[in-house]
Homo-oligomer: A and B are copies of this chain.
Amino acid sequence: MSTNNRRAQRTEQNSSDTEAMPNVPIFYSILQTPFTSSGEIDKTSLLRLLEHRIEAGADGLFLLGVASESMFLTWDEKLQIVELVTREIRGRLPVMVAAYEPATGPAVISALRWQDMGATSIIALPPYACTPTNDAIIQHFAQMAAAISIPLIVQDEPNTSGVTMGASIIARIGREVDNVGGFKLEGQPVTEKLTAVRNTLGENTQLFSAAGTFFVEELRRGSNGMMSGYVFPEIIRAVLDRFSRTDDQGAGALWDRYLPLTASESRPALLWSVRKQILKLRGLVETPTVRSPALTVDSTTRSELPEMLARLNLLKAYPYRQ
Residues of A within 8 A of B (CB): 39, 69, 71-76, 101-106, 109-110, 127-134, 136-137, 139-140, 143, 162, 164, 166-168, 188-189, 191-192, 195, 213-214, 217, 220-221, 252, 256, 259-260, 263, 267-270, 291-295, 297-298, 300-301, 304, 311
Contacts and interface: CB of A to CB of B under 8 A. Distances in A.
Copies in the complex: 4
A291 B104 contact: yes
Contact of A72 (B129, B164, B252, B301): B129
Contacts of A295: 133, 136, 189, 192
Contact of A259 (B106, B127, B214, B263): B263
Nearest to A137: B293
A108 to B, nearest CB: 9
A9 to B, nearest CB: 16
B298 A103 contact: no
B217 A166 contact: no
A270 B213 CA distance: 14
Given A259-B260, A263-B263, A269-B189, A136 B292 contact: yes
A267 B72 contact: no
Given A269-B188, A304-B217, A293 B104 contact: yes
Given A260-B259, A293-B103, A189 B270 contact: yes
A39 B189 CA distance: 23
A101 B102 CA distance: 13
Contact of A166 (B133, B213, B256): B133
A301 B129 CA distance: 22
Contacts of A104: 291-293
23 contacts: A69-B129, A104-B293, A105-B291, A129-B294, A130-B269, A131-B269, A131-B293, A133-B166, A137-B293, A139-B292, A143-B292, A189-B295, A191-B267, A191-B298, A192-B295, A192-B298, A195-B298, A195-B300, A213-B263, A220-B300, A221-B300, A259-B259, A263-B263
Given A195-B300, A268-B188, A74 B106 contact: yes
A104 B128 CA distance: 21
Contact of A71 (B103, B192, B298): B103
A86 B294 CA distance: 34
Contacts of A143: 292
Nearest to A35: B105
B217 A106 contact: no
A311 B250 CA distance: 12
B189 A292 contact: no
Contacts of A267: 188-189, 191, 214
A302 to B, nearest CB: 11
A188 B110 CA distance: 30
